[in-house]
Amino acid sequence: MNDINHKLDNIPLFQHLIAFANTGPQSYHVPGHCNGNIYEQLVTSFPIEHQRYIAALATLAKLDVTELSHTDDLHDPQGIIQQAQQLTANLYGADHSLFLVGGSTAGNVALVLTLCNPGDTIIVQRNVHKSVMNGCKLGEVNAVFLVPELDEETDLAVIPSLAVLEEAIQQHPEAKAVFLTNPNYYGLSVELEPYIQLAHRYNIPLVVDEAHGAHYGIAPYSPNSGLASGADAVVQSAHKTLPALTMGAYLHIQGERIQVNDVQRQLAMLESSSPSYLLMTSLDIARAVLQACGKEMFQQSYQLREQLLQWLERRSSRLAIKQLSPSSKVRQDPYRLLLYDRLKGASGAQLQNMLEQQGIWVEMSVSHYAVLVWHMAMNDDQLQQLQQGIIQVEQQLNQKLLDDTNADDVSSNPNMRQSKSINAKLAVSAPVQFKRKIQLDTTFLELDQAEGCCCAEQVIPYPPGIPILFEGELITDEHIAEIRRYMANDTRFQGAGRLNQGMIKVFVQ
C-alpha cells in the first residue's frame, strides 16, 4: 500500500509563496512572527520535547505572509489566489470556486445573506447545521423547517422527502431559496437531482451544505456531488476529508441564479480582512493532491476498508460496520464507517470511550454508532492498530456481559435511540422569524418544567452541531426527551449555558 508516486505541480499559490520565501525577504510588515524568525530564535528556549514542533512552525511561518504587492487578495483575487481558485473550479466542474478561511460556516452564512433580505423566507431542513440558522439570525430571515426522513436501516435522520419539500414550496411560494444538508454527519445522503429539478421548476435556487462530501464524485465508489446533480451552490469543508488545514473550505457556484460577486461581498464582511495564507495554501495543495492522485489514494483506502469488513466477517466479530442494503434509497459514503455492537450491549458513546482508551480517536458517536472517518491516507499500520483496538474492546464487552447477566439491552434503552423527529407535529412548520436581538425578559427553568415555554437560547449538541432548539421555538416533550438522550451520553452543548445543571433559558410569558 501507499506506493503512489505522482509529481505534484501546478500549485500556484503554494509555489509562489515558496519562491518568495527562498529570496530571504526582510519583513517590516505583519504578521509579528517576522517570517518565522521569532520561532527560530527561541527554539532552544522551549523544552526539548517541544523543540521539533517549534522548528516545524518556524518553517511553516515562512509561508504565513500577508497581502503584499504580489501575493494577491482573497477578497479581490486577480493573481495567484484567483488562479488557485480557478483550478479548483475546473476540478469540481463549477463556474466559480471560492476559498473559505472560516470553514463551511462562513460559506453557509454568506449564502443565506446573499439569497435573502430581512423578512424574506428560506426553506431548510430541521436538522440543519447551526451556521445556516446563524445566517438567518444575522439577516433576520424567516426559516420554514422541513421534518427530515428517518432511514429505517440506521435509525438516523437524512434529508426530508421530495413530497415534503414540494409541500413547503407550495405553501411558501415567496421562499427565496431551499437549503439542504447532504450528506449528513454519518455519511448518509440521497440523490439530489429530483430535489434540484423541483426547486428549479418553481424558479427557486437550491444550495447544499456538503461539508462532509468534498471528495464526492472524485473518490471511487463515493456518491455524486451536489454540483453534478445541478445545485446552484455547494459548500464543502475541504479539511474534513481532504488534506487541508482546519477551517479550510470551498464554496462552489454554477449557473445564473447566484451571482459570485454578491457572495464575495458577503464573505468580505464575514471573514477576516487578513485571511491566513497557510489556510489558503493548504486548500491549493488539497486540490492538487486530489487532482493528481486522489483517486488512487482513495482507492487504496477503500481496499483497506474492504479488508476490515472481511476481517470482521471472518471473525464473526461482535463489532460490525453498518452496511445498507442494495435496495436502500439512501446512499452511504464508504469513507465514513458506522461501527456498532451487534449484541446491542454498548452505545456509540461507550464504544467511542473504549476505543479512546486504546489510543483510537473517532470522529463522534451517536445512539448505536461510533463514527470513523476513513481518510484517503489510510495505511496497513493504521488498519492493524484499529483491528487490535476492536479486539480489546470486544474482550472488555464480553467480560462485562459475563459479569453482568442483567446487562441492559441497548434496543430497549430510550437514551440509545435517536428521535425520529424533533417538533415533528407537522411535516412543514410555520415560518420561524429570527432576530439578531430579542428584547424580552428571560428566566431559567428546570428542564422538565419547561414544556410549553418559549426557548430563549440555542440548544446545540456538539458534535454534530445540529440544533435541537432555536430561540423563539416552543419547547415540547420531544425536545426534552432528545436533550435527555444527549445528556445521558455526556454530550457537550453549545449555546445552553446551564444545561449541565438541568436548567434551560426561556422567555417570561
Q: Are strands 121-125 and 142-146 parallel, antiparallel or unpaired?
A: parallel
Superfamily for 437-507? Molybdopterin biosynthesis moea protein, domain 2 (3.90.105.10)
Q: What is the pLDDT of residue 428?
A: 82
- Show me where the domains of the chain are located: 12-65, 80-280, 295-415, 437-507
DSSP category for residue 26:
P
CA distance 113 to 262: 9
The answer to whether 151 and 180 have CB atoms below 8 angstroms apart is no
314 burial type by CB count under 10 A (0-12 exposed, 13-18 middle, 19+ buried):
exposed
Q: Which of 442, 467, 466, 437 is nearest to 455 (CA)?
A: 442
The answer to whether 263 and 128 have CB atoms below 8 angstroms apart is no
Count of CB atoms situated within 10 Å of the CB of 285:
20
What are the cell numbers at 252? 462552489
Q: What is the DSSP string of 223-268?
A: PPPHHHHT-SEEEE-HHHHSS--TT-EEEEE-SSSS-HHHHHHHHH
Beta strands in 130-211 (DSSP E): 142-146, 149-151, 156-158, 177-181, 188-189, 206-209
Q: What is the DSSP string of 382-446?
A: HHHHHHHHHHHHHHHHHHHHHH-TTPPPGGG-GGGS--S-SSTTSSBPPPEE--S-----EEEEE
Architecture label for domain 295-415 = Alpha-Beta Complex (3.90)
Q: Which of 18, 58, 29 is nearest to 41 (CA)?
A: 58
Q: What is the pLDDT of residue 1?
A: 54
Q: Which residue ranges of the chain lie beneath pLDDT 70?
A: 1-5, 402-426, 436-439, 463-465
CA distance 256 to 276: 30
Q: Which residue has the cell 446563524?
A: 134
Give Cα separations from 185 to 41, 119, 464 (angstroms). Answer: 43, 30, 7
| Residue 36 region by backbone torsions, left for phi larger than 0, else alpha for psi between -120 and 50, else beta | left
DSSP category for residue 455:
B
Q: Hey, what amino acid is at 181?
A: T
Q: What is the pLDDT of residue 487?
A: 87
CA distance 74 to 168: 37
Q: What is the pLDDT of residue 432?
A: 75
Which residues share a beta bridge with 363? Answer: none
| Residue 247 region by backbone torsions, left for phi larger than 0, else alpha for psi between -120 and 50, else beta | left
Q: What is the pLDDT of residue 437?
A: 61
Q: Which residues contact 471 (CB under 8 A, 6 or more apart)?
A: 434, 438, 455, 456, 457, 458
What are the cell numbers at 178? 431551499
284 in helix, strand or coil?
A: helix
pLDDT tens per residue across span 64-100 = 999 999 999 999 999 999 999 999 999 999 999 999 9
The answer to whether 376 and 294 have CB atoms below 8 angstroms apart is yes
Alpha carbon dihedral 271, 131, 124, 509, in 10-degree steps, equals -120
Q: Hey, what CATH topology would domain 80-280 get?
A: Aspartate Aminotransferase; domain 2 (3.40.640)
Give Cα separations from 51 to 37, 160, 278 (angstroms). Answer: 14, 51, 21
CA distance 483 to 489: 10
CA distance 456 to 462: 19
